[in-house]
Structure 1
Amino acid sequence: MSDVPFGFGPQDPDDRGRKPEEPAGNPFDFNQLGAMLSQLGAMFSNAGTSSGPVNYDLAKQIALQQLTGKGGMGFTPDQSGAVADAVHLAEMWLDPATALPAGTTRSESWSARDWVERTLPTWQRLCDPVAQRVSGAWVEAMPAEAKEAAGPLLSMLGQMGGMAFGSQLGGALAQLGSEVLTSTEVGLPLGPEGTAALLPANIEKFTEGLERPASEVLVFLAAREAAHQRLFSHVPWLRQRLLDTVEEFAKGIKVDTSALEQLAGQVDPANPASIEEAMKSGMLEPQTTPEQKAALTRLETLLALVEGWVDVVVAGAVGDRLPGAEALRETLRRRRASGGPAEQTFATLVGLELRPRRHRSAAALWKLLGDQHGIEQRDSVWEHPDLVPSADDLDDPMEFAERFGRTREALEDPMAELERTLREKDEGEAGGQQGEQKDGD
């Protein structure tokens, strides 16, 4: 599975160690560039008017075309009714399992095409920062004489990159749309706020071979979707923090553009498809920076905390009611670990794979907090981002649980905490004086 950020593909193994053929003379052949852009004119006119680093019109067009070819991606009225009933039942079961109230204002059944159309605005927010930084590197790296000669053609060069990004994104969305089970399966609030959405056709395929009743699988997935909605609806900072962290990653992107001068030699003006091939060749593969690593760690940790919390809450809500709940829980974990839709998406988007170790560690932490401090105290961790566990806390959940208990006591009774701090300070000073006296003796 690819682990390079969005907009880049793996380099062909056969090309490793082999330098591309360098063009003679000036590496920027302006006649060739002009011919190439002319060839693309018809493509631009048929690819929509989307502006920006990604052509989302093209992405949507490609995704919907590919999904149309798959067929059978819709749902029946009976399936829609079953989804509504499952969400309603799941909400009742979740009430005693979490202190967060219901966040679902409406439940919907989606086809794969619905999923693409309803989640595309959020994908735009996720993809734009990364694609903007990468596409800007093209222009930044061009020699001054090339920029001056290209003039208005630079905007068309941007369109060229936007089409390539859009083409990649469209194919990825089509693949995801044919596999995802709910609107929140990738761990992000992709759909409209407060809308619990399930994809009956995909769930039907997922249920095959599980040896569990279809109704049981549906309620289990509805509970996970409803739990996500509670979290995203009642933790106001969470949605924005997830999206902001992706933007922080994008700001850290640095591209080695020394190979950009070989662009003209790699692109065939008579074959517009060669543009995308050039982009996938690894020519502009980004370098990992400390800023990116820090942002990815924060994003991975936050996503693991979301999934771990949902895991624990749903287990508490349905564990005694659905005989196959634990088996379904493990099935979804393995689906995640084996490179399901979520991992593939993040690997393509920002080079991030959700490690099952973090997911399980987060679930263990939430379970420990609930056992030691109760459900209300456990869920109060989400009240402020400063209370949320860090990556180090996932490695030592016991220490976090103990520290969290002291923190909550300080917030609930600040005077008692002040007296305790002063008492510890006095005891420390007294101990120090005794030590000095012994040294003097």
Structure 2
Amino acid sequence: MTDLPFGFNPSDDPEGRRDRDNPSERPEGSSGANPFGFSGGMPPGGMPPGMPPGGMPPGFDMNQLGQMFSQLGQMFSQASQGGGGPVNYDLAKQLAFQHLDSQGRRESPTSAQRTAASDAVRLAELWLDESTTLPVGARLVEVWSAKQWVEQSLPTWQRLCDPVVQRISAAWIETLPEEAKQAAGPLLNMLGQMGGMAYGSQLGGALGQLGAEVLSATEIGLPLGKEGVAALLPANIERFTGGLERPAHEVLVFLAAREAAHHRLFTHVSWLRQGLFGAVEEFSQGIRVDVSAMEDLATKIDPSNPASLEEAMRSGLLEPERTPAQQQALVRLETLLALVEGWIDVVVGDAVGERLPGADALRETLRRRRASGGPAEQTFATLVGLDLRPRQLRAAATLWRGLSDRHGKEARDALWDHPDLLPTAEDLAEPVEFVERFGAQRGELDDPLAALEAARRRKEGRPDSAGATGGSAGAGESGGTTSSDGSEGDRPQRGQGTDRDDD
């Protein structure tokens, strides 16, 4: 076999010396300026108008053609070396880095930035101690470049994307007739690899855009980094601060407070991570493919135009139909994201409100930033069908504020002890009503089993029972005991909830 790529120039004169040294030995109509071993014979009917004798159009750059084939070879190589998962994350990382390089985002954090970030988080932790009962959750403070954010967050994106993309790939194959599956044979595996490349390409572009904008490890509401590691992106924060009329140190402390508050929540509410990721996994399990949409897709893709496939993916033609069970999972995910962001908004506001003059303006700026969603978030929503924006952020903030003002931070934070105690989507629709009802039922918090039973009754549409004790089911899920006096120490310890993914 020849060592040349794709079998080009398979002659016994690989260096083309015969054509170059003795033009009379060239095939008729060929030119010595034609590399890669392509035949330069005259096409039927003669050369097209304006075509030079060598058979190449004017301005054709053979170097660019060689680069194109080289990149194509790399793509096929990456397809077989992408880790064997449903998405080619090596390709996603490479494309994200290329996007960041193209924007000049090659900054490396300096020692001064590391010191400033550590001091800001340390100060924020002192202030947060006064506004929440949850203890410090960040054990380490780091500063990341945009590329470091991509590397550190990629495992979490993999956990989010894998179940969705894997189920979509399986659903497409399930729609094929059995005869087609047998005829395709190994081709199905190749299609899976190419699909992994397509998803990796879109994910890489989204991560590249997010990496150029994101301000901290938890800004989008998910714990993207390692547990207990608070991370800020100083270069992105400086660009963000440039569009504001606030001192740089004030913005840094405000963002550090939000990062630290997120870690208090994700570290000490043990079921919260699984609650978020479990909703994504439940969403993926219900994926079904609309066969008629697949047939319609075939008529909209031009085989001669590779960009038409990418355009189809962006337009949503490849999105599977959504089932009622999936819609319920999405509602739970959006509600939980809103509750997290609303709690952060209230707790950080209480911690820094009287200490940072521009705190209210910064809170509103970040609210709008999260609510609007950038092109990267839209790309991710199209890719896996999930919108990671907290749509009910303001309602959640109103609810947590009402609980804080009327019942105190201890009662407010106690709702995180178990997912069944948290407000539902219906509660966010009427946050003031929930606060009033919470006041009437506040005594239940002294009896966690009764509180769980009452929460289940409300979710099931049954009337509350003042004498409910929760029974054995409640005992099995709370993991705690109740003393005769209902003392604070006998409530389940915060962070000891179950791994249930319903809220």
TM-score norm. by structure 2 comes to 0.70
Q: 3-state SS of the aligned residue for 1:90?
A: helix
The answer for the alignment partner of 2:17 in structure 1 is none
The answer for the alignment partner of 1:302 in structure 2 is 336
Q: Which has the larger radius of gyration?
A: 2
Distance 2:321 2:273 in 1: 28
Q: 3-state SS of the aligned residue for 1:45?
A: helix
The answer for the alignment partner of 2:183 in structure 1 is 149
Aligned residue type for 1:350: G
> CA RMSD, aligned part only?
2.7
Q: In the alignment, is the contact (CA less than 8 A) between 2:175 and 2:289 conserved in 1?
A: no
Distance 1:73 1:308, change over 3 A: farther
- Which of 170, 183, 187 is the aligned partner of 2:221? 187
Distance 1:416 1:382 in 2: 16
Distance 2:450 2:365 in 1: 47
Larger relative contact order, structure 1 or 2 (CA cutoff 8 Å, min sep 6)? 1
Distance 1:401 1:248 in 2: 30
- Which of 85, 93, 107 is the aligned partner of 2:127? 93
- Which of 210, 215, 235 is the aligned partner of 2:269? 235
Distance 1:128 1:414 in 2: 36
Distance 1:342 1:248, change over 3 A: farther
Per residue, is there more helix in 1 or in 2? 1
Distance 2:144 2:395 in 1: 32
Aligned residue type for 1:56: Y
Structure 1, residues 322-381: CA drift from partner, whole Å, max 9, x if none? 01101111111121233247853663343426355x101101111111111111111010
Distance 1:239 1:415, change over 3 A: closer
Correspondence 1:50 to 2:96: no
Q: In the alignment, is the contact (CA less than 8 A) between 2:289 and 2:320 conserved in 1?
A: yes
The answer for the alignment partner of 2:98 in structure 1 is 65
Distance 1:394 1:375, change over 3 A: same
Distance 1:116 1:413, change over 3 A: closer
Aligned residue type for 1:62: L
Distance 1:111 1:41, change over 3 A: closer
Q: Which has the larger displacement, 152-161 or 69-78?
A: 69-78
Correspondence 1:404 to 2:438: yes
The answer for the alignment partner of 2:137 in structure 1 is 103
The answer for the alignment partner of 2:285 in structure 1 is 251
Distance 1:73 1:54, change over 3 A: same
Correspondence 1:362 to 2:362: no
Structure 1, residues 257-276: CA drift from partner, whole Å, max 9, x if none? 23545777776777766654
Structure 1, residues 227-257: CA drift from partner, whole Å, max 9, x if none? 0000000000001100010111112222212
Distance 1:375 1:323, change over 3 A: same
Correspondence 1:217 to 2:251: yes
Aligned residue type for 2:432: M
Aligned residue type for 2:199: F
Percent of matched pairs sharing the same residue = 67
The answer for the alignment partner of 2:16 in structure 1 is none
Distance 1:73 1:178 in 2: 10
Distance 1:312 1:81 in 2: 27
Aligned residue type for 2:162: D
- Which of 334, 344, 351 is the aligned partner of 2:368? 334
Q: In the alignment, is the contact (CA less than 8 A) between 1:256 and 1:284 conserved in 2?
A: no
Distance 1:261 1:421, change over 3 A: closer
Aligned residue type for 1:203: I
Distance 1:73 1:289 in 2: 43
